[in-house]
């Protein structure tokens, strides 16, 4: 199984960005197939042989199958054989990619999480031997069918990931589907089916990816532009926490908010203490991008803004030991807005005598009295 990073976007500009990619319009990619065992050394030997074969066919990006590191005999052995990302096996993969100047997709790596569980991790390594991205499997396979005596719980030994990664710009364009097909659905390359006469069922399939053709067909069939965003949308819940620099300033219309007043920062929004608190604990949440109205925000910005509001509300209620919150959006001068910027105002009622709290999410939330 070839498990590539997949991400959905509703921005048509992603298509046109193919014009500006720093890559040739054509490149060869290869997918490798073999039957892994519980011997990591033997599996690595096979991987090296398949990669050498693919490199000889001028492949610049090579995809390894799921569980290419090993397939253990049982759960206990699987946990014992797992490694962290800085372990010897991934280090070896990084060296292989760097030595051959190829991009390497490690389709399924048993990344050690703790003493009892692992991550099912997809790793993308560039031609400098640097890990460019990794995706930890989110949807774990848990199924119970008593009448068929089927009881499988992947979650017993695997920890689910917490986020979807954005597409990565590679020599073959942005990673998307998990099999090699052209824009019309025609199979370009396929590994043969398993045969008993083939030692370890080792094989590769090589195909040429033509991004110029892809761009041409996407222009002729602009499916993303046909999406009805007024009816449906696909949004990702992001959990990245951006480091707060107290020396930075953030635009709030024509005002500058010091970084020392900001207690939460995401990709699109930030939360900060109010200079004039209506009640103790009165804080503000605003988009990072200055816009006149809430209507001017993108779907991603709206989603991030309200997700931030809910998260801040939850933490503030816990800190101030209350169970009621007034969440108010002042959008436009007749809504009581004094600063011409889309601003979500979050008021905490019935609070202790604390002007505000400051916290940075780095695994531990620490609260500091500001007044």
Residues 6+ apart with CB under 8 A from 156: 75
Domains of the chain by range and CATH? 13-226 (3.60.110.10), 249-348 (3.30.428.10)
Per-residue pLDDT of the chain (371 residues; tens, 9 = 90+): 333 222 222 333 333 343 444 445 788 899 898 989 999 999 999 999 999 999 999 999 999 988 999 999 998 999 999 999 999 999 999 999 999 999 999 988 999 999 899 999 999 999 999 999 998 988 888 888 888 888 888 889 999 888 878 788 888 888 754 445 556 677 777 777 766 766 556 778 887 878 788 788 777 777 777 666 666 666 666 656 678 888 999 988 778 889 999 999 988 899 998 877 777 778 888 889 888 888 888 888 888 888 888 888 888 888 888 887 888 887 777 776 666 544 444 433 222 223 333 333 333 333 333 32
Distance (Å, rounded) from C-alpha 369 to C-alpha 343?
24
Report how far residue 355's alpha carbon sits from residue 323's, in angstroms, rounded to the nearest whole number: 18
| H/E segment holding residue 343 | strand 343-348
Q: What pLDDT does 15 receive?
A: 32
Instruction: Select from 190, 98, 93, 135 the least CA-distant residue to 3.
Output: 135
**Biggest distance spanned by C-alpha atoms of the chain:** 78
Question: CA 155 to CA 145: how far, in whole Å?
Answer: 16
Contact between residue 165 and residue 133 where contact means Cβ atoms under 8 Å apart: yes
CB neighbour list of residue 266: distance below 8 Å, 6 or more residues apart: 238, 240, 241, 242, 304, 308
Distances (CA, A) of 294 to 213, 287, 301, 341: 39, 9, 10, 8
Burial code of 302-341, b = ≥16 C-beta within 10 A, e = fewer? bbbbebbbebbbebbbebbeeeebeeebbbeeeeebeeeb
| CA–CA distance, 246 with 244 (Å, rounded to integer) | 6
Q: Which two three-digit tokens encode residue 247?
A: 């020396």
- CA 317 – CA 181 distance, rounded (Å): 51
Q: pTM of the entire structure?
A: 0.60
- Backbone phi, psi, residue 52, to 5°: -60, -40
**Which pLDDT belongs to residue 353?**
28
- pLDDT at position 238 is 60
Distance between CA atoms of residues 283 and 199, nearest Å? 65
């Amino acid at each position: 199984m070839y498990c590539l990073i997949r991400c959905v976007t509703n921005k048509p500009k992603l298509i046109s960005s193919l014009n500006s990619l720093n890559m040739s319009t054509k490149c060869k990619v290869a997918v490798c197939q073999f039957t892994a065992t519980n011997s990591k050394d033997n599996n690595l030997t096979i991987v090296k042989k398949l990669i050498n074969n693919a490199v000889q066919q001028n492949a610049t990006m090579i995809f390894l199958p799921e569980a290419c590191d090993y397939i253990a005999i049982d759960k206990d052995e699987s946990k014992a054989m797992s490694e962290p990302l800085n372990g010897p096996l991934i280090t070896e993969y990084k060296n292989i990619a760097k030595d051959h100047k190829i991009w390497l997709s490690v389709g399924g790596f048993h990344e050690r999480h703790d003493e009892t569980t692992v991550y099912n991790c997809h790793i993308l390594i560039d031609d400098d031997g640097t890990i460019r991205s990794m995706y930890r499997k989110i949807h774990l396979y848990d199924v119970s069918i008593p009448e068929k005596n089927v009881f499988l719980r992947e979650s017993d030994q695997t920890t689910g990931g917490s986020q979807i990664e954005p597409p990565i710009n590679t020599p073959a364009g942005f990673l998307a589907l998990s099999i090699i097909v052209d824009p019309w659905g025609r199979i370009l390359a396929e590994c043969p089916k398993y045969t008993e006469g083939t030692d370890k069922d080792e094989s590769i399939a090589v195909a040429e990816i033509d991004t110029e053709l892809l761009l041409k067909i996407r222009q002729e069939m602009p499916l993303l532009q046909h999406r009805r965003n007024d009816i449906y949308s696909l949004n990702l819940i992001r959990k990245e926490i951006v480091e707060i620099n107290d020396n930075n300033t953030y635009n709030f219309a024509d005002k500058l908010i010091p970084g020392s007043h900001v207690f939460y920062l995401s990709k699109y929004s930030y939360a900060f203490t109010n200079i004039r608190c209506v009640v103790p604990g009165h804080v503000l949440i605003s988009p990072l991008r200055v816009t006149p109205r809430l209507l001017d925000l993108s779907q991603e910005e709206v989603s991030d803004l309200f997700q931030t509001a809910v998260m801040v509300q939850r933490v503030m209620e816990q800190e101030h030991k209350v169970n009621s919150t007034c969440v108010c959006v002042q959008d436009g001068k007749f809504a009581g807005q004094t600063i011409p910027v889309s601003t979500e105002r979050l008021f905490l009622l019935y609070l202790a005598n604390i002007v505000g709290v400051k916290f940075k999410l780095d695994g531990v939330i620490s609260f500091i009295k500001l007044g």
